[in-house]
Amino acid sequence: MRESFRWFGPPDRIALSEIVQTGASEIVTSLHEIAYGLVWEKDAIAARQTLVREQSGGRLEWTVVESLPVHEEIKLAGSGGRGDLETLYETYRISLRNLAACGISTVCYNFMPLLDWTRTELAHPLAGGGTSLRFNMQDFAAFDVFMLERPGAEADFAPDVIERAKAWIDASSPADRERLLTAIMAGLPGAYERYDVPGLREVLARYKGITKDDIRANYKRFLEAVVPTAEEAGIRLCVHPDDPPRPVFGLPRVVSSEEDIAFILDAVPSVANGLTLCSGSLGAGPANDVVAIARRFADKIHFAHLRNVAKDADGSFEEADHLDGDTDMIALLRVLLAEERRRKGEGRADWQIPMRPDHGHELLADLGRGTHPGYPLIGRMRGLAALRGAIRAIGAIDGSA
């Protein structure tokens, strides 16, 4: 598998020269500074490629885009969505062509309404030292029911979760509630301002009455508009699953399960319409068998995020070590490596699947460094080293790709 590392561009507190020392050879990044709905021009793409090469001493190459964002108007329901969708579709198509012209062919994106990933703790203390990201169901319910006061929110949680959420709110200080808001807002894409509670209520109101079927219909319309261009340009689009794979603040989620993925891939059948296999996002869903999902859709996996989570019975979860947690990472790697062997046997030049160690614990010198939540240097390097060792061991046993 091709080893990559996510970098958030020039503002990232982790230098490309440091990423070189992890042993990765490829960079996963985006032009985060470009507002949604605007074209990624060739000059801007090429400039970022040059920056990556120069600041890494020629040892790193930008090969995977994460993400080329889908404008929120495309996700909103209505007759063909809202706003001038054809302009937004064409902007997306031009950006895809420009990426292809610069030699970048893997584009990860998501279709999560408003929020990307959602956590309630950004620095949960670990027993052995360090911190992790964590999603506490009772804290999330406390925010949704008692801080946001979303109508009907109580129905989305078990009675015992509501009871514990009320106890949390009653015992919380203003600083506790502000920390919870900050953690939840950390999941907003970089192009978005962070909201206070009234501001979040206001933006959520735009989705009032929108159903999962509405979001699916708009997603299918988006795929019909852009996948033919991606296929023509040699681009592999690969959707990222919802994180967590459940409705958030009443917002429907449409990439949360095996059935959801099948709908997406069948909506517009094409080699250009594929999947980012995120073992952590899918693994947070109690009903999801990540290994079985990977096996079913192996030929459509264009990119892999490898991480693990440990789940609680109430739906809470936290980031685990990459080879631990609830997903059998060894079995998952076997599926991915077997698929690489199959592709290589077909004579494909692009038989290797790019992967990155997703998320990581804050450890040692990363503590207090202020890196992007979930993306410290040392924790991800540790994860990459563990995955690298497992991949080589599996290759020795099963037959190297």
Q: Tokens 């959801």 label which residue? A: 260
Cα(263)–Cα(255) distance, integer angstroms: 9
| pLDDT above 90: percentage of residues in the chain | 89
Residues assigned a catalytic role: 240, 278, 305, 358-359, 375
The DSSP code for 300 is G
Tell me the pLDDT of the chain averaged across its residues: 94
Q: Which helix (H) or strand (E) holds 124?
A: strand 121-125
pLDDT, residue 126, reads: 95
Contact 335, 294 (CB under 8 A): yes
Cα(33)–Cα(150) distance, integer angstroms: 32
What is the mean predicted confidence (pLDDT) over 65-71? 94
- Whether pLDDT at 191 is above 80: no
Residue range 4-30, pLDDT digits in tens: 999 999 999 999 999 999 999 999 999
What is the mean predicted confidence (pLDDT) over 146-157? 96
pLDDT, residue 211, reads: 92
pLDDT, residue 400, reads: 60
**In the structure, what pLDDT confidence band is assigned to residue 314 with cuts at 50, 70 and 90?**
very high
What is the mean predicted confidence (pLDDT) over 27-38? 94
**In the structure, what pLDDT confidence band is assigned to residue 398 with cuts at 50, 70 and 90?**
confident
pLDDT, residue 80, reads: 47
What is the mean predicted confidence (pLDDT) over 30-38? 93
Structural Rg of the chain based on CA atoms: 20
**In the structure, what pLDDT confidence band is assigned to residue 122 with cuts at 50, 70 and 90?**
very high
- Whether pLDDT at 192 is above 70: no
What is the mean predicted confidence (pLDDT) over 342-350? 95
Cα(197)–Cα(124) distance, integer angstroms: 23
- Whether pLDDT at 67 is above 70: yes
CATH number, span 2-118+206-398: 3.20.20.150
Contact 185, 177 (CB under 8 A): no
- Of the segments 152-156, 184-188, 193-197, which one has the largest average pLDDT value? 152-156
Domain boundaries, the chain: 2-118+206-398
- Whether pLDDT at 326 is above 50: yes
Give the number of other CB atoms < 10 A from CB of residue 313: 8
Bridge-based pairing of strands 2-6 and 26-29 is: parallel
Note the residue count of the chain.
Answer: 401
pLDDT, residue 79, reads: 45
3-class secondary structure, 203: helix
Residue type, 296: R
Cα(362)–Cα(367) distance, integer angstroms: 6
- Whether pLDDT at 190 is above 70: no
- Whether pLDDT at 34 is above 90: yes
pLDDT, residue 77, reads: 66
What is the mean predicted confidence (pLDDT) over 288-300? 98
Residue range 385-395, pLDDT digits in tens: 999 999 999 98
Residue range 69-109, pLDDT digits in tens: 999 899 986 544 556 799 999 999 999 999 999 999 999 99
- Whether pLDDT at 193 is above 70: no
pLDDT, residue 380, reads: 98
**In the structure, what pLDDT confidence band is assigned to residue 399 with cuts at 50, 70 and 90?**
confident
Cα(123)–Cα(29) distance, integer angstroms: 24
| pLDDT above 70: percentage of residues in the chain | 97
State both tokens at 395.
Answer: 């290759």
